[in-house]
Amino acid sequence: MKNNKRKRSIWVGIIIALVVVLLIAIIFIVKAGTINYLSPEEFLRMFELGQIRPENMIIEQLSSGDSIITGKFIQGNSYAQFKFILSRNVMGDEIYNNIRNALDGTITQIREQSVWLGLISSFLPMLILIAFYIWIFSAMSKGGAGGMLGGQKSKPRQVKSNVKFSDIAGINEEKAELIELVDYLKKPEKYAAHGARVPKGVLMEGPPGTGKTLLAKAVAGEAGVAFFSMAGSEFEEMFVGLGASRVRDLFGDAKKAAPCIIFIDEIDAVGRKRNSSMGGGTTEQTLNQLLVEMDGFEINSGVIVMAATNRADVLDSALLRPGRFDRTIQISLPDIRERADILKLHSRNKSVSPKIDWKNIAERTPGFSGAQLENVLNEAAILVVRGDRKIIELTDIDEAIDRVIGGPAKKSRVMTLHDKDVVSYHEAGHALIGMKLESASKVQKVTIIPRGSAGGYTIMTPKDESNFSSIDDLKATIIGYMGGRAAEEIMFGKNKVTTGAHDDLDKATNIARRMITQFGMSDLGLTKFVTMQEEAAGYMKGTYSDLVASKIDEELAKILKHSYQEAIKVINANKPELELIAESLRVLETITSEQIEYIDKNMKLPEEVVREKESRSKKEEEIKNGDLIELSPDDVD
């Protein structure tokens, strides 16, 4: 702490010295640039020549008998200021009398200078510097130098949580892990009697939107204790010492309100690994203070620290040791059963059609977090309000899922007949691969309605939700991504393929590269070319030689080429089915898994497609015969 104070004093001294030098320089520059001190001879000559005029002079009588003459004189095409001291002792009797005679009868204003005014003008700069010095140290004593630039101390937010475990669905195992905390906060004596120590800290790790903050609020709500929350970034400021001060304040307030819970969101902002380059920086000081407060010499009786992050790999090892964060809870994205439970939970306060099967909706939302599922139902409710209807139907939820994935539908976007054909065959290619390959994902929905930058898309989910992917699974996924481009080449020719597959190629390339560099699933062997640390930091290129990099590129090209050839083979073998799926898309624009399965099983168009085609043919016939004059935009493509 002494070293910290010494460093702080040095920085304050440097800042003050720079400010003093700057002020003095400004004063001298201003004085030197605006006032011209004249000698008695120059003043007398310029006055006789008329360059100095009486109306441009002010004479101030001093208590010593001397006078100060200030004013302006003509210099070129403008005026310049001057200052002249009229003193018998300085210039002698002869010159003094000549100037007095020259000025006789010409003085327009005489002002006697006060002694106090002279003292104030002499000492005013010094007083300003002293006041500035006091202000700086006052700001430093109130929480670091952050106050100098207007930064105020961010007080920890103490709230009373109303969230209960019943308000959370889909993470039952994680909730069970936190029951001990609630029980301890309610009955600490029960644990003390058995010599058990409750976890001092709980770290929750998982992707965004999986319910980490919600779990912390639920623990506080169930226990009925105070809940302090701060974000990791709130501890840090520009100057040294402020982050550590905020940590002390947070734990000081928490000890007064014990038993309580401290929740630090995004703790990786303040708890990153220390290294030699950090030195005595603000981040290391704040982390050191946090380590001391969590498990130092003082006992934080009744204070439980909960923290959330999606980057536990970057946290300092001292922060993760038992005694600080005793328990780490992994919160993953919900599986199909958990997604159904989350959807049911968020539908409690909404008017939903009883025909909706939540398991079916869960199948259409693979990889969705709890926050995204809540957003799906909220978007569906907004669509019902917009349509001035009473209950949420399946079509509303389907549209809401599409909105969450790709944004609002751009039905006004002009699409030529050729573009519609290209998109239909492209998406039909993806769907066909999903139907025919055993390891490929199941097709849930295909649409050619533009959303965002996509002309259409296919929603596919794994046939069996597993925590692991085999080589066959990954290769089938790559072949599925290649299905769109392969269908375009087969139907329109090799030189007529479009740029519509750019996103598919990006995803396929990423999977293939990870198979080679991280999973050991290629002919290059089991070597892991990208380490865990490099992978966590987002680096796809590890520390390997140029020769190895060339081999990786060759292997990557080989995997993608083989996958594309497989996609061509599958589509050529099932070309009639491709035509049926594409025709269904051109007619309905959106088809579901049930309709695709009907095509695959019966090799004919679904009844909905047939009815829609008959309806359009009837209207076209009526137009041709003159029975129908006008069509709405929805009646024609």
Return mean pLDDT, the chain: 77
Q: Residue 282: in which H helix or E strand, if any?
A: helix 282-295
Residues 191 and 142 both lie in one domain: no
Mean pLDDT for the stretch of residues 98-112: 58
Separation CA 381–CA 460 (nearest Å):
25
Residues 501 and 549 both lie in one domain: yes
Q: Quick check: is 610 in a domain? A: no
Task: Decide: 483 and 446 in contact? Cβ < 8 Å.
Answer: no
Residues 14 and 89 both lie in one domain: yes
Edge-first strand order for the sheet with 590-592 is 457-461, 442-447, 590-592
- The closest alpha carbon to 585, from 418, 427, 411, belongs to 427
pLDDT at 627: 56
Mean pLDDT for the stretch of residues 515-536: 83
Question: Catalytic: 48?
Answer: no
pLDDT at residue 261 greater than cutoff 60: yes
pLDDT at 551: 92
Residues 307 and 250 both lie in one domain: yes
The last residue of a domain, from among 94, 125, 149: 149
pLDDT at 226: 81
Instruction: Show the domain range for 317.
Output: 158-330
The last residue of a domain, from among 117, 149, 181: 149
Separation CA 100–CA 423 (nearest Å):
101
Rounded to the nearest 5 degrees, what angle is found at the Cα of 278, between the Cα atoms of 273 and 282?
A: 95
pLDDT in tens, 38-52: 677 777 777 777 777
Residues 280 and 345 both lie in one domain: no
- Classify 327 as helix, strand or coil: strand
Residues 316 and 354 both lie in one domain: no
Q: Quick check: is 629 in a domain? A: no
pLDDT at 401: 87
How many domains are there within the chain? 4
Return the top range by mean pLDDT from 274-278, 297-301, 333-337, 504-508.
Answer: 504-508
Higher pLDDT among residues 384 and 189, named by residue: 384
pLDDT band at 245 (very low <50, low <70, confident <90, very high): confident
Q: Quick check: is 634 in a domain? A: no
pLDDT in tens, 60-90: 766 666 677 777 776 666 667 777 667 666 6
Mean pLDDT for the stretch of residues 419-448: 86
pLDDT at 487: 94
Lowest mean pLDDT: which of 53-67, 159-173, 405-419? 53-67
Higher pLDDT among residues 548 and 77, named by residue: 548
Annotated catalytic residue, options 222, 427, 489, 577? 427
pLDDT in tens, 310-359: 888 788 888 888 888 888 888 888 888 888 999 998 888 888 888 888 88
Residues 232 and 353 both lie in one domain: no
Q: Quick check: is 377 in a domain? A: yes
pLDDT in tens, 191-200: 878 887 777 8
pLDDT at 288: 83
pLDDT in tens, 487-524: 999 999 999 999 888 889 999 999 999 999 988 999 88
Task: Specify the pTM.
Answer: 0.66
Report, in angstroms and rounded to the nearest whole number, the Rg of the chain calculated over CA atoms.
Answer: 40
Return the top range by mean pLDDT from 84-88, 252-256, 622-626.
Answer: 252-256
pLDDT at 488: 93
Residues 324 and 343 both lie in one domain: no
Question: What's 164's domain CATH number?
Answer: 3.40.50.300
pLDDT at 167: 83
Q: Quick check: is 623 in a domain? A: no
pLDDT band at 578 (very low <50, low <70, confident <90, very high): very high
Query: Per the structure block, which two tokens stand in for 15?
Result: 């800042």
pLDDT band at 148 (very low <50, low <70, confident <90, very high): very low
Residues 423 and 566 both lie in one domain: yes
Mean pLDDT for the stretch of residues 28-35: 51
Task: Decide: 102 and 47 in contact? Cβ < 8 Å.
Answer: yes
